[in-house]
């Protein structure tokens, strides 16, 4: 394994030159694209008259000509290799014209210029622009860009780039051209180009100040009638950002293109977002309710980047959370305003706990602002995004809505057009509030999830209740000793009747131990703490299971009701795991069944909430509550709990299932979605019994469903029932949907996650299916990621075959798409948390990977961290 260099935040230096203008020409030919870049540059005035070498980043392409000023440079007069282009010295002001040849058809890494089907497109974040042309590929170099695209008119009738179309026309030989100019200075990671035979859905939006904006969503022709939900979402996001943050759109045109081959969810390129088709295309027949919500959230996220990311960008990549944490916070708030706030909060926190907390306990643990990286792509993490959003949310809590808005206004005013840091952001928040946020800033620099415990003490004499909070964060590779965090805690007091005795207020933890005293309260009072999950901490309390059952039913904060229910489930599963490990019989406590049944009776109230509150945590979430993860025992315990509940409450589940069936099948209103989610939760409990009676109900829903939500829910249940049932359902689903590649992704993922015995064999077989390819990230995520990340029983097979299969695929993928290979490899990250046998087998796979001679930098970083 080659060693690769780490880049450190402490080594940051500003660039020695200023780019005044970038003029790009893309001449697209059948088997190559010729790129000419004209840079107008000058030395940073502070360095005038100094001899400063010009060093540009560069990918692995051939340069065919270099012109400096009006001199043609010969290869000896500049230096060029696979990473760098450089000149020993330059005048103070100069122009540089470089021409090079790209082979987009051979670019399987999907960074830089690449082909997706018949479409040519770009992806430049984080450091893909260097694969297009030599350039100072860093976010703090901002410049106005113009871009000319020349291509065949039949193959590429649509030619797009950032900003405004200023000129277009026909050329000889059935070719045509388009010239785009982006008036806003931007870093090169926001550059984009698209060329292809696309259809467009058009609409308009008038901003608050009366500017008329043309909205265009492009997709392959056969999908254009599936773009209207994305368009509605875009208009909602534009209106919301005006209302909530006073931010208007700034160009006359906003374009979105849906692409089938994409490494991430979507990309906020200025005026020309490029999206994974999964986050654009939807209709009720082919997309689930979750897909609809996902599209609304991602469309909004990319739109919100126009201010938080594009107008104000990053000084260096270490500051990534400055744009991502803040923009996730903004999209979460948007989704809360558009839909149900408590349900949104529950799903955001669930995601954080399921994926960010484990990240903090493995080899990828890093502060929200990392100190070092080998490959920046590896730091597009749950910590930077989701924990980063929680940190913003804490500032929002500490300041309150009004001051937070004042702070945001000042941030936009002060830093518009600049590349800034997290200190700049927190600085304006400190300024407008007059608060000292120095201790608070540790959330950006210190890694790990704080464990907070809460205990109650009641003093009969003074009739006062004291709540004592202690915080502790485990040492890790980033810091051997952790200092206390500044943690906001929202607390209310509730009595036995479920009435609020003391209104919700904000308290702040700043020391290892903090105590708050509430005077004049009765003894039988319940504190409701960390309401709405005020901070990203692991909370333990002195609540008994009876207390938790009370809070599940009566807490006045729905988030805390959900949290109490989840804690009860986890406690129950822990007891079952202990019983299994001791060889004792399993039994579910009557208290839990009772609490569950009472909650199910409340089904007329908020069905969306109820479907979340009554859902058992996944095995992948449960594992986080164990030091040593016993894969089989967790699976057995969860299955037993689910089946016991289904058995004891069969008729209740059936009743609620029937009650929720009236939703119109293509209605995507909140109410209809809520009905479907509760209905399908009931079906999933019933389905766990796998008897003929329920099989019949599930089968009927599968065959007669009027939308993908219901069809997919039933399909998932059938995939676990038994091999016969699955072997009938799979071809039926495939035959119906084979023309829809996004639905076929669902088909792959359901099979990869099946609990049936032969799942690994099925997955192996599916890798040779004609619709599967390692070159398409969505397909890899649907089959290989789903297996490795979401099917613990089979990935962690005792014979090690799950590991072997996955490691082989990672190495295969590393040759095609290193970014995605590195992501997939994180399935081995928690290897130290399993039994000795599994530890040894997982370690062996990591070592085998480490021994490869030509590991990508991306994968090298993940593997070497895991083995450190
Ligand atoms: N900036 C994008 C977003 O979060 C994410 C992204 C990152 C997309 C890297 C692609 C990529 O290669 O909105």
- Domain containing 488 — which CATH number? 2.60.40.1840
pLDDT above 80 (res 640): yes
Statement to judge: residues 439 and 501 lie in one domain: no
331 lies in some domain: yes
Q: How many A from CA of 267 to the centre of ligand 1?
A: 5
Percentage of the chain exceeding pLDDT 70: 100
80 lies in some domain: no
Strand ranges in 296-440 using DSSP code E only, listed in sequence order: 313-314, 372-373, 419-420
Question: What is the C-alpha to C-alpha distance for residues 473 and 477, in angstroms, rounded to an integer?
Answer: 13
Residue 626 near ligand 1, beta carbon < 6 Å: no
851 lies in some domain: no
Residue 268 near ligand 1, beta carbon < 6 Å: yes
Statement to judge: residues 416 and 529 lie in one domain: no
Statement to judge: residues 319 and 438 lie in one domain: yes
pLDDT above 70 (res 860): yes
Q: Give 7's strand partners.
A: 373
Residue 125 near ligand 1, beta carbon < 6 Å: yes
pLDDT per position as a tens digit, 756-810: 999 999 999 999 999 999 999 999 999 999 999 999 999 999 999 999 999 999 9
- CB-based contact 754:761 (threshold 8 Å): no
pLDDT per position as a tens digit, 360-410: 999 999 999 999 999 999 999 999 999 999 999 999 999 999 999 999 999
How many domains does the chain fold into? 2
431 lies in some domain: yes
Domain end: 535, 555, 577, which one? 535
The atom of ligand 1 lying closest to the CA of 309 is 1
- Give 19's Cβ-side CA count (13 Å radius): 29
125 lies in some domain: no
pLDDT per position as a tens digit, 588-623: 999 999 999 999 999 888 999 999 999 999 999 999
> Which of 110, 187, 264 should be mutated for ligand 1, with most atoms under 8 A from CB?
264
**Among 527, 531, 562, 533, CA closest to 547:** 527
Domain end: 535, 551, 570, which one? 535
Residue 323 near ligand 1, beta carbon < 6 Å: no
591 lies in some domain: no
Statement to judge: residues 510 and 525 lie in one domain: yes
Residue nearest to atom 10 of ligand 1 (CA): 264
Statement to judge: residues 383 and 481 lie in one domain: no
For residues 136-150, give the mean pLDDT: 98
**Among 755, 752, 753, 757, CA closest to 767:** 752
Statement to judge: residues 429 and 331 lie in one domain: yes
In this prediction, residue 707 carries a pLDDT of 97
Residue 331 near ligand 1, beta carbon < 6 Å: no
In this prediction, residue 662 carries a pLDDT of 84
Question: What is the C-alpha to C-alpha distance for residues 549 and 655, in angstroms, rounded to an integer?
Answer: 23
527 lies in some domain: yes
In this prediction, residue 50 carries a pLDDT of 86
In this prediction, residue 29 carries a pLDDT of 98
Which residues, other chains included, contact 134 with Cβ-Cβ below 8 Å and sequence gap of 6+? 37, 56, 57, 58, 63, 80, 85, 98, 100
The atom of ligand 1 lying closest to the CA of 298 is 13
Q: How many A from CA of 125 to the centre of ligand 1?
A: 6
Q: How many A from CA of 256 to the centre of ligand 1?
A: 14
Residue 592 near ligand 1, beta carbon < 6 Å: no
**Structural domain range at position 465:** 451-535
- CB-based contact 147:159 (threshold 8 Å): no
pLDDT above 80 (res 120): yes
Confidence band for 49, pLDDT divided at 50, 70 and 90? confident
pLDDT per position as a tens digit, 424-459: 999 999 999 999 999 999 999 999 999 999 999 999
Confidence band for 664, pLDDT divided at 50, 70 and 90? confident
Residue 263 near ligand 1, beta carbon < 6 Å: yes
Domain end: 396, 423, 445, which one? 445
pLDDT per position as a tens digit, 19-33: 999 999 999 999 999
386 lies in some domain: yes
Q: How many A from CA of 262 to the centre of ligand 1?
A: 10
Statement to judge: residues 407 and 467 lie in one domain: no
Residue 121 near ligand 1, beta carbon < 6 Å: no
The atom of ligand 1 lying closest to the CA of 819 is 12
**Among 348, 373, 360, CA closest to 446:** 360
What is the overall mean pLDDT for the chain?
97
In this prediction, residue 2 carries a pLDDT of 60
Q: How many A from CA of 126 to the centre of ligand 1?
A: 8
**Among 112, 210, 198, 105, CA closest to 159:** 198
Residue 205 near ligand 1, beta carbon < 6 Å: no
Statement to judge: residues 390 and 455 lie in one domain: no
Structure tokens at 319: 């500051």
Residue 375 near ligand 1, beta carbon < 6 Å: no
Question: What is the C-alpha to C-alpha distance for residues 109 and 814, in angstroms, rounded to an integer?
Answer: 9
Burial of 671 from C-beta contacts in 10 A (0-12 / 13-18 / 19+): exposed
Residue nearest to atom 3 of ligand 1 (CA): 267
Query: How many residues belong to the chain?
Result: 868
Which of the residues are catalytic? 302
Helix (H, G, I), strand (E, B) or coil at 408: helix
Q: How many A from CA of 532 to the centre of ligand 1?
A: 28
Torsion of CA 747, 750, 756, 761, to 10 degrees: 60
Statement to judge: residues 478 and 441 lie in one domain: no
Statement to judge: residues 322 and 436 lie in one domain: yes
Read off the CATH number of the domain in which 376 is found.
1.10.390.10
Statement to judge: residues 423 and 480 lie in one domain: no
pLDDT per position as a tens digit, 531-581: 999 999 999 999 999 999 999 999 999 999 999 999 999 999 999 999 999
Burial of 524 from C-beta contacts in 10 A (0-12 / 13-18 / 19+): exposed
Question: What is the C-alpha to C-alpha distance for residues 654 and 569, in angstroms, rounded to an integer?
Answer: 22
- CB-based contact 512:484 (threshold 8 Å): yes
pLDDT above 70 (res 282): yes
Residue 308 near ligand 1, beta carbon < 6 Å: no
Structure tokens at 198: 């696309």
Question: What is the C-alpha to C-alpha distance for residues 532 and 529, in angstroms, rounded to an integer?
Answer: 9
> Which of 113, 125, 858 should be mutated for ligand 1, with most atoms under 8 A from CB?
125
Question: What is the C-alpha to C-alpha distance for residues 484 and 452, in angstroms, rounded to an integer?
Answer: 11
pLDDT above 70 (res 1): no
Question: What is the C-alpha to C-alpha distance for residues 557 and 51, in angstroms, rounded to an integer?
Answer: 64
Q: For the CA atoms of the chain, what is the radius of gyration? A: 28
Residue nearest to atom 9 of ligand 1 (CA): 125
Statement to judge: residues 338 and 459 lie in one domain: no
The atom of ligand 1 lying closest to the CA of 123 is 12
Query: How far is residue 291 from each of residues 345, 681, 832, measured CA to CA in Å?
Result: 17, 17, 34
Residue nearest to atom 7 of ligand 1 (CA): 125
Q: How many A from CA of 189 to the centre of ligand 1?
A: 10
pLDDT per position as a tens digit, 695-711: 999 999 999 999 999 99
Residue 158 near ligand 1, beta carbon < 6 Å: no
């Amino acid at each position: 394994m080659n060693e690769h260099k780490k880049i450190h935040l402490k080594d940051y230096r500003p660039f020695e030159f200023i780019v005044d203008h970038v003029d790009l020409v893309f001449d697209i030919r059948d088997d190559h694209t010729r790129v000419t870049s004209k840079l107008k540059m000058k030395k940073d005035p502070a360095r005038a008259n100094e001899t400063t070498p010009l060093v540009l980043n560069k990918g692995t392409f051939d340069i065919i000509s270099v012109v400096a000023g009006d001199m043609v440079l010969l290869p000896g007069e500049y230096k060029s290799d696979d990473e760098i282009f450089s000149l020993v010295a330059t005048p103070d002001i100069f122009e540089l014209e470089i021409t090079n040849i790209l082979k987009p058809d051979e670019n399987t890494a999907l960074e830089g210029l690449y082909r997706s089907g018949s479409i040519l497109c770009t992806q430049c974040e984080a450091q893909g622009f260097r694969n297009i042309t030599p350039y100072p590929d860093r976010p703090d170099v901002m410049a106005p860009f113009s871009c000319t695209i020349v291509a065949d008119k039949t193959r590429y009738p649509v030619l797009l780039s950032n900003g405004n179309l200023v000129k277009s026309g026909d050329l000889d030989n059935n070719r045509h051209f388009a010239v785009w100019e982006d008036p806003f200075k931007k870093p090169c990671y926001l550059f984009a180009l698209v060329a292809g035979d696309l259809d467009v859905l058009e609409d308009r939006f008038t901003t608050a100040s009366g500017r008329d904006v043309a909205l265009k969503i492009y997709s392959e022709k056969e999908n254009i009638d599936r773009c209207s939900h994305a368009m509605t979402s875009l208009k909602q996001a534009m209106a919301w950002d005006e209302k909530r943050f006073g931010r208007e759109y700034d160009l006359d045109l906003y374009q979105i293109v849906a692409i089938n081959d994409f490494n991430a969810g979507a990309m906020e390129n200025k005026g020309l977002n490029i999206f994974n088709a999964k986050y654009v295309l939807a209709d009720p027949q082919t997309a689930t309710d979750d897909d609809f919500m996902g599209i609304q959230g991602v469309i909004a996220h990319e739109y919100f980047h126009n201010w938080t990311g594009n107008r104000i960008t990053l000084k260096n990549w270490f500051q990534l959370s400055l744009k991502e944490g803040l923009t996730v916070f903004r999209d979460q708030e948007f989704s809360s305003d558009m839909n149900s706030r408590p349900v949104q909060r529950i799903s955001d926190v669930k995601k954080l706990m399921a994926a960010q907390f484990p990240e903090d306990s493995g080899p990828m643990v890093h502060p929200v602002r990392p100190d070092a990286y080998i490959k920046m792509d590896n730091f597009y993490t749950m910590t930077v995004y989701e924990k980063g959003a929680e940190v913003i949310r804490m500032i929002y809590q500490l300041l309150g809505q009004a001051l937070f808005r004042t702070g945001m206004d000042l941030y936009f005013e002060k830093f518009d057009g600049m590349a800034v840091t997290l200190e700049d952001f927190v600085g304006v928040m400190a300024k407008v509030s007059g608060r000292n946020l120095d201790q608070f800033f540790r959330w950006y620099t210190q890694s790990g999830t704080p464990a907070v415990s809460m205990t109650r003490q009641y003093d009969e004499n003074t009739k006062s209740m004291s709540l004592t909070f202690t915080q502790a964060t485990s040492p890790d590779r980033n810091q051997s000793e952790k200092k206390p965090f500044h943690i906001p805690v929202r607390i209310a007091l509730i009595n036995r009747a479920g009435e609020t005795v003391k209104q919700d207020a904000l308290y702040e933890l700043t020391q290892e131990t903090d105590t708050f005293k509430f005077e004049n309260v009765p003894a039988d009072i319940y504190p409701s703490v960390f309401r709405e999950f005020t901070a990203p901490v692991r909370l333990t309390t002195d609540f008994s299971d009876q207390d938790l059952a009370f809070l599940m039913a009566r807490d006045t904060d729905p988030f805390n009701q959900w949290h109490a229910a989840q804690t009860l489930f986890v406690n129950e599963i822990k007891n079952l795991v202990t019983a299994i490990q001791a060889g004792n019989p399993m039994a579910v406590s009557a208290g839990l069944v009772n609490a569950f049944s009472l909650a199910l009776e409340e089904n007329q109230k908020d069905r969306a909430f109820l479907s979340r509150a009554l859902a058992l945590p996944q095995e992948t979430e449960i594992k986080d509550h164990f030091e040593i993860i016993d894969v089989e025992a967790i699976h057995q315990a969860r299955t037993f709990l689910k089946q016991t509940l289904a058995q004891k409450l069969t008729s209740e589940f059936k009743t609620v299932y029937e009650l929720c069936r009236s939703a119109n099948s293509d209605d995507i209103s909140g109410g209809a979605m809520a009905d479907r989610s509760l209905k399908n939760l009931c079906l999933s409990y019933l389905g766990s019994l796998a008897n003929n009676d329920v099989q019949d109900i599930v089968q009927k829903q599968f065959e007669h469903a009027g939308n993908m939500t219901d069809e997919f829910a039933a399909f998932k249940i059938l995939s676990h029932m038994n091999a016969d049932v699955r072997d009938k359902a799979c071809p039926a689903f495939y035959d119906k949907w084979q023309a829809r590649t996004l639905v076929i992704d669902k088909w792959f993922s359901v099979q990869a996650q099946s609990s049936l015995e032969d799942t690994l064999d099925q997955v192996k077989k599916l890798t040779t299916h004609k619709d599967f390819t390692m070159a398409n990230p969505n397909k890899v995520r649907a089959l290989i990621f789903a297996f490795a990340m979401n099917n613990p029983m089979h990935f962690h097979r005792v014979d090690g075959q799950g590991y072997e299969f996955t490691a082989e695929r990672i190495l295969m993928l590393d040759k095609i798409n290193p970014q995605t290979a590195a992501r997939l490899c994180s399935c081995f990250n928690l290897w130290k948390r399993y039994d000795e046998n599994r530890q040894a087998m997982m370690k062996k796979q990591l070592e085998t990977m480490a021994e490869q001679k030509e590991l990508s930098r991306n994968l090298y970083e993940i593997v070497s961290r895991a083995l450190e």
